[in-house]
């Protein structure tokens, strides 16, 4: 499907209209940013890996009863998705203490959490995407309590499915970010699920296989993304290309 007007360009993706108003075209970029855009770079083939990994994981979730915006892969770095009206919220699910949670609460990174923790952040680049709670969300009319409950339940269900599947590929799902939107009254998972938005650690060695390698100048960033792709998709032509 041909791309039309550019609707939005973010740090990692471009979103275009298509001839059918029900669908958008998402194009993943190789650009990488961290710390609210203060650190910038390019990761070789990141757009390809994030597109293919997201397509694979969205398809897995859809088959398991978690509805999302993914329709199909239409190119190495492009996917067709349902057009959503997005909530200005990020939903974070944490299974292991890492990143900002470790800093805020003084918990050593790598400490397993007794149960998954769900956090919400207000999407506003100028404010640095601050954390908010259910009261803030209702007061700011970012979502109704009922909508928030649907998002939380979907996020926790996705967490269980992804953790189990990734463990079978020798990957620990430490934490991940989700975004949601509405299409014809239905709340769907959107955005992406990739090494940009998840912390993936090797189950045996604890090696980071995600964007933290870029954030922390660990090196081997493109190789880490490629390794996640290899373990999940394994098809050199890309997810869905042999279907």
Ordered by where they begin, the domains of the chain are 6-82 (3.30.200.20), 85-219 (3.30.470.20)
Residues whose CB is less than 8 angstroms from the CB of residue 141 and which lie 6 or more positions away in sequence, other chains included? none
How large is the average pLDDT for residues 59-86? 97
pLDDT, position 243: 40
* Exposure letters 146-177 (e unless 16+ CB within 10 A, then b): ebbebbeebbeebbebbbebbeeeebbbbbbb
The predicted model scores a pTM of: 0.94
Query: Which has the closest alpha carbon to 110: 201, 222, 171, 235?
Result: 201
Query: Which has the closest alpha carbon to 59: 73, 49, 47?
Result: 73
Task: Give, in order, the Cα–Cα distances in Å from 157 to each of 55, 67, 195, 217.
Answer: 18, 11, 19, 33
Residue pLDDT, tens place only, 92-133: 999 999 999 999 999 999 999 999 999 999 999 899 999 999
């Amino acid at each position: 499907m041909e791309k039309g007007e550019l609707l939005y360009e973010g740090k990692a993706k471009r979103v275009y209209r298509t001839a059918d108003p029900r669908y958008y075209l998402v194009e993943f970029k190789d650009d990488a940013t961290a710390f609210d855009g203060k650190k910038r770079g390019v990761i070789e083939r990141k757009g390809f890996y994030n597109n293919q990994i997201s397509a694979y994981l969205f398809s897995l979730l859809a088959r398991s009863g978690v509805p999302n915006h993914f329709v199909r892969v239409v190119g190495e770095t492009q996917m067709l998705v349902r057009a959503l009206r997005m909530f200005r919220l990020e939903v974070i699910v944490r299974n292991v203490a890492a990143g900002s949670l470790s800093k805020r609460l003084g918990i050593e990174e790598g400490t397993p959490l007794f149960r998954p923790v769900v956090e919400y952040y207000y999407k506003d680049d100028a404010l640095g995407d601050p954390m908010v709670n259910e009261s803030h969300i209702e007061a700011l009319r970012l979502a109704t309590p009922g909508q928030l409950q649907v998002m939380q339940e979907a996020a926790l269900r996705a967490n269980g499915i992804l953790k189990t599947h990734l463990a079978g590929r020798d990957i620990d799902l430490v934490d991940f970010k989700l975004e949601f939107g509405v299409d014809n009254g239905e709340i769907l998972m959107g955005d992406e699920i990739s090494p940009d938005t998840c912390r993936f650690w090797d189950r045996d060695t604890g090696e980071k296989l995600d964007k933290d390698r870029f954030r922390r100048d660990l090196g081997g960033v493109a190789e880490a993304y490629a390794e996640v792709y290899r373990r999940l998709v394994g098809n050199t032509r890309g997810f869905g290309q042999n279907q």
